[in-house]
Structure 1
Amino acid sequence: MPATLAIYAGAALAEIAGCFAFWSWMRKGAGAIWLLPGLLSLAVFAWLLTLAPAEFAGRAYAAYGGVYILASLAWLWSAEGRRPDVWDIAGGAVCLIGAAIILFAPRIAGD
């Protein structure tokens, strides 16, 4: 379980950083040079997600979604200086619970 959380946390950081590089270029006027680390970061994200311990890609992606939402709220606070409000936190918690159900539910082998 700790390895799974580390994979998802690393994937979330890589995806958010890559997307933020594109956001900065398109919306904030940052130079096109931002696209290079953004592309690299998105490639790392995709690679890390392949390491998720799930039989099916769709299930791995669905579980990752909850982690991504929480990580996005942490990014909002740490990188953009906007503290998440109570609704952000409540929504993130619901999503994380849903991700845990998807990822850690007992299943029959091959299901």
Structure 2
Amino acid sequence: MTVIKSILLFGVAAVLEIGGAWLIWQGIREHRGWLWIGGGAVALGLYGIVATLQPDANFGRILAAYGGVFIAGSLIWAVFLDGFRPDRWDITGAIIALAGVGLIMYGPRGS
């Protein structure tokens, strides 16, 4: 159950961080205005809170593992919101990154 909770938290964190950054990007680069930028800032703040809910207490481990989630999540976000088409290298890299997440977060630990 702890692994499922952790995976769900990574998913929520990814939506908040990637979505927050995307909203700020839209606000500045696409001239959508301060409401978009403010919404992005709120989402990024909520990402920071969600990250603290991970069952593992090691900040470095959580942030390192989240990097792999961010890689895959960013590509998925771009497909659905920006019409991006990842190539085989993008997909292969994301799979490798997610394998790294699995090792970092859920690999067996010695006592």
TM-score interval w.r.t. the shorter chain? over 0.9
Of 75, 78, 92, which aligns to 2:77? Answer: 75
In the superposition, the TM-score normalised over structure 2's length comes to 0.92
Query: Residue deviations 1:25-77, cap 9 Å, x none?
Result: 22111111112211111111111100112231000111111111111010010
Distance 1:36 1:4 in 2: 28
Alignment length, in residue pairs?
109
Distance 2:13 2:19 in 1: 10
TM-aligned CA deviation for residue 88 of structure 1: 0.6
Distance 1:28 1:5 in 2: 32
Aligned residue for 2:72, secondary structure, equals helix
**For residue 38 of structure 2, what is the aligned residue in structure 1?**
36
Alignment check: 8 A CA contact 1:53 1:60 kept: no
Identity, in percent, stands at: 36
In the superposition, the TM-score normalised over structure 1's length comes to 0.92
Q: Which amino acid aligns with 2:7?
A: L
**For residue 93 of structure 1, what is the aligned residue in structure 2?**
95
Q: Which runs of structure 2 are paired with 1:27-66 in the superposition (5 Å)?
A: 27-66=29-68
Q: Following superposition, which runs of at least 4 residues in structure 1 exceed 6 angstroms of deviation?
A: none
Q: CA RMSD in A?
A: 1.1
Aligned residue for 1:79, secondary structure, equals helix
Alignment check: 8 A CA contact 1:77 1:84 kept: yes
Q: Which range moves more in the overlay, 82-91 or 6-15?
A: 82-91
* Structure 2: gaps spanning 5 or more residues: none
Distance 2:51 2:57 in 1: 12
**For residue 106 of structure 2, what is the aligned residue in structure 1?**
104
**For residue 10 of structure 2, what is the aligned residue in structure 1?**
8
TM-aligned CA deviation for residue 107 of structure 1: 1.5
